[in-house]
Amino acid sequence: MKIAKQSLQSENKPDFNELFYRYNAHVRAIALKICGNTAAAEDAVQDAWITAYTNIHQLRSSDAFLPWLKRIVINSCYQLLRSDRKILLTESIPVNDKLIQNSIESKFEQVAERDKLNTALSSLPVHLRQTVMLRYLSGYTSYVDIAAITGVPVGTVRSRLSDSKKKLASLLKQQFDPGSDEFESSMYWNNFYQEVCPGIYRHPNLLSDFFNHIWDDLNIVFTSGKTVVGKSIFEESVFDDMEHGSRLATVESCITSGDLTLLKVSFENSLEHPSHCPPNSYLTFLRKKGKLTRMRLYHAARGIISDFS
């Protein structure tokens, strides 16, 4: 990956902590004016500062920082209000800003910052890490969507995000040399699943590789909340898909942090059985010693599920 043009975090520019103390009160006042209550405003400001932190290397001038930060805060406020369904927007809010829309991973062109983020994120407990990954790295950014995918109430999502942001902020301020192990590991698992998950329906060798990647006591949680235990259940579901002419066609997105991977996948069905699998699913994979120990499925198109597919 090429290094971007000189960033705001060069030696002769103010550091991020200085920027935070200089402008936080200002953007907090903006958030309070839009959100109308302290809790929502605080959430929006915290979201905005994390977005700013992960994108600051893309700015070439310190003069551009405050207008850019204000735009991020405004976007965060309206996104929060939209997701909570508290207001009806009457005007279009700019949401296509590449600085905000791109994934955090792709933003970190500075290797040291990229590795620091990956190390900090992987140190969070799984339940907090999953929530942060969904909020900032996936297409499911609203509290309602995250609650549905993780199977917890919206209030729990809000609480987890608040706890996560405090822990991440503390970790990112620490001075340490994180190395690149976490980033390289995440790239390995992303590449593995992007190849193997669609491949199991086409190539026997990949099917065998994936089955060998699963512990015998695999824990599977369905969209309905039902939980079953057993690798054999997953194996039977794959063979059932094949029998009905269905297959996992594409891994649309795959993000990994530590032993946790989140995938958005799409399915294709046969003409004879057009409804055998949902068109799209969100999968959460948790590994133990490099093998799958827990799998959670969220089929948004159906809402409930009576089978693996």
19-74 tens-digit pLDDT: 887 888 888 888 887 776 666 777 788 888 888 877 777 776 777 788 888 888 88
- pLDDT at res. 140: 62
Torsion of CA 243, 244, 249, 255, to 10 degrees: -80
Q: Are 257 and 133 in contact (CB under 8 A)?
A: yes
Strongest mean pLDDT among 63-72, 103-112, 143-152, 209-218: 209-218
DSSP-derived secondary structure letter, 156 = H
Q: What pLDDT sits at residue 176?
A: 54
* Token pair 């405090």: residue: 166
Domain 182-298: give its CATH architecture: Roll (3.10)
Max mean pLDDT among 44-53, 75-84, 95-104 falls in 44-53
In the prediction, which pLDDT does 34 show?
A: 77
Q: Where are the domains of the chain?
A: 1-102, 182-298
Structure tokens at 117: 């983020």
Distance, in Å, from the CA atom of 109 to the CA atom of 107, rounded to the nearest integer, reads: 6
- Output the CATH code of domain 1-102: 1.10.1740.10
What burial class does residue 5 get, using C-beta atoms within 10 Å of its C-beta: 0-12 exposed, 13-18 middle, 19+ buried? exposed
CA dist 38 and 44 (Å) reads 10
Do the domains 182-298 and 1-102 match in fold? no
**Maximum separation of any 2 CA atoms in the chain, in Å:** 66
pLDDT: is 158 or 141 the higher one? 158
Q: What is the pLDDT of residue 14?
A: 53
Burial class for 245, CB neighbours closer than 10 Å (0-12, 13-18, 19+): middle
